[in-house]
Amino acid sequence: MPRNARIDAPGALHHIIVRGIERRKIFNDDVDRINFLDRLGKVLSETHTKCFAWALIPNHFHLLLRTGACPLSTVMRRLLTGHAMNFNRRHRRSGQLFQNRYKSILCQEDTYLLELVRYIHLNPIRARLVTDIKALDKYPFCGHAVIMGKKKKEWQDDAYVLKLFDKKRSTARRRYKIFVQKGIQEGKRPELTGGGLIRSSGGWSVIKSLRRANIHFKSDERVLGDSDFVERVLKAADEFLERKYQLKSQGYDIDKLADRVAEIFSIKPEEIFQPGKQPVKVKARSLLCYWAVRELGVTMADLAPKLNISQPAVSMSARRGERIASENGYSLMDE
């Protein structure tokens, strides 16, 4: 049976889980972990992807990310490919490092962001890497220590999490720590990582009561949220795919995108692909990047050589292009 495509959209919150093949280690020592975190910080910074929580366990890791203009698939491809190559080289091994595809769950932020931050940051205690909350406060391979102010990671958005507890940092940290400590007693939370039906309804007890009342609801294993949220996400995903197929059926490719952008900015299409920092060229290139990535699903790796710029530059351009399109009401197709 074919696997469902992952769901992504600018601004979406994702819980990412990546496991080693056959549950083997993907971090053998602290050097592996430090190299991974350096790479993670670089990729997140260059793609303008926000990170709210993370934890490294010897045979897997968790991330809680909010995507920007750069698709999640690009972020993860850069992260996983780089780590696998470095790990194999360091440990003189070859072959696949990760188990199948990474798991990505699009989450309803208002309901689940804090629950997921707590769940992810308690992983080192559940895995017995640290003994208690006091040790977790200083553990360097989990985002909890960053939120507690004991470690520093520029790429982790601890301020966003803390402000959900209080405006004053010291008060927010105290309340956050109490919140996390209460979660230790809850143990594993399969509804946060398991099947969509259980997740989207709040657990088996809720499912049974709903079934007894003959109430039906929408669920999907790729989405964590209530029934209405799941339905909205799936509808938006279907609309995106339909639009992408529609564009491709009408012959839209990079060249046709360039024609449309050139028309908007009253320049020649070939000028978009030429180097130069003239304002009109920068705007045109940015809009092309945004539409190519978000409308046609072109990867940044494929787009970079066509424009003779780096992948990080494509990411920045796509972000700028999103703003240009929004502020000026530009549409790819005349509607």
Q: Closest Cα to residue 237, out of 8, 2, 4? A: 8
209 or 109, which is more confident: 109
The per-residue pLDDT for 187 is: 66
**Paired strand residues for 107:** 13, 224
pLDDT in tens, 87-138: 999 999 999 999 878 888 888 888 889 999 999 999 999 999 999 999 999 9
Give residue 216's pLDDT: 39
The domains located in the chain, with CATH, are: 13-192 (3.30.70.1290), 196-231 (no CATH), 250-328 (1.10.1750.10)
Mean pLDDT for the stretch of residues 257-277? 92
Between 64-73, 238-247, 252-261, the lowest mean confidence (pLDDT) is in 238-247
Which residues partner with 142 through β-bridges? Answer: 55
**Torsion region of 206: left, alpha or beta (phi above 0 gives left; psi -120 to 50 gives alpha):** alpha
For residues 45-66, average pLDDT: 96
Range of weakest confidence among 44-58, 88-102, 220-234: 220-234
Residue ranges of E strands in 199-303: 223-224
Q: Mean pLDDT check: name the lowest of 141-150, 172-181, 193-202.
A: 193-202
Give yes or no for residue 201 having a pLDDT over 60.
no
Q: What is the pTM of this model?
A: 0.71
Read off the pLDDT of each residue in 6-21 and give the average, rounded to a whole number.
86
Residue 145 reports pLDDT greater than 70: yes
Looking at per-residue pLDDT, the higher value among 191 and 276 belongs to: 276
Which range (5-19, 144-158, 282-296, 313-327) has the least confidence? 5-19
Nearest CA-CA partner of 104 in 16, 184, 178: 16
pLDDT over 60 at 261, yes or no: yes
Kindly state the tokens that stand for 284: 């045109």
pLDDT tens digits for range 308-331: 888 888 888 988 998 999 899 898
CA distance between the termini of the chain? 38
> What pLDDT, on a 0 to 100 scale, did the predictor assign at position 194?
52
To the nearest whole number, what is the mean pLDDT of the chain? 85
Within 114-270, strands assigned E span: 223-224
Band the pLDDT of 190: cuts 50, 70, 90. low
Do the beta carbons of residue 307 and residue 269 sit within 8 Å?
no
